[in-house]
């Protein structure tokens, strides 16, 4: 559940949760490492400095684009 009354500090929580719905998993712990700075890394609300979770890896884009909710419905004849 996402509390819609609280603003996301990094503005990616909804996309992160949509990633889970598409089958993506957490890609790494909260660390300052360019290899894991992406929307699917863990978020630590106790962190004083939020790492950049604004990136998407190619495999994440592909998974989101091919998720069941992203495909066009078949036309009924």
Residue 19 confidence (pLDDT): 93
Residues 6+ apart with CB under 8 A from 70: 22, 64
Residue 23 confidence (pLDDT): 92
Residue 77 confidence (pLDDT): 58
Delimit the domains of the chain by residue range.
1-63
Overall pTM > 0.85: no
Q: What is the pLDDT along the chain (77 residues), one digit of tens a residue?
A: 677 787 777 788 888 899 999 999 887 655 555 556 788 887 666 665 556 677 888 999 999 999 988 877 666 55
CA atoms within 13 A on the CB side of 7: 2
From 55, 27, 31, select the one nearest 41 (Cα to Cα).
Answer: 27
């Amino acid at each position: 559940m996402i509390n819609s009354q609280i603003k996301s500090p990094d503005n990616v929580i909804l996309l992160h949760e949509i990633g889970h719905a598409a089958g993506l998993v957490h890609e790494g712990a909260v660390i300052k490492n360019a290899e894991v700075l992406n929307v699917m890394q863990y978020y630590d609300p106790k962190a004083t400095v939020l790492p950049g979770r604004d990136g998407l890896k190619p495999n994440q884009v592909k998974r989101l684009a091919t998720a069941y909710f992203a495909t066009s419905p078949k036309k009924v004849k």
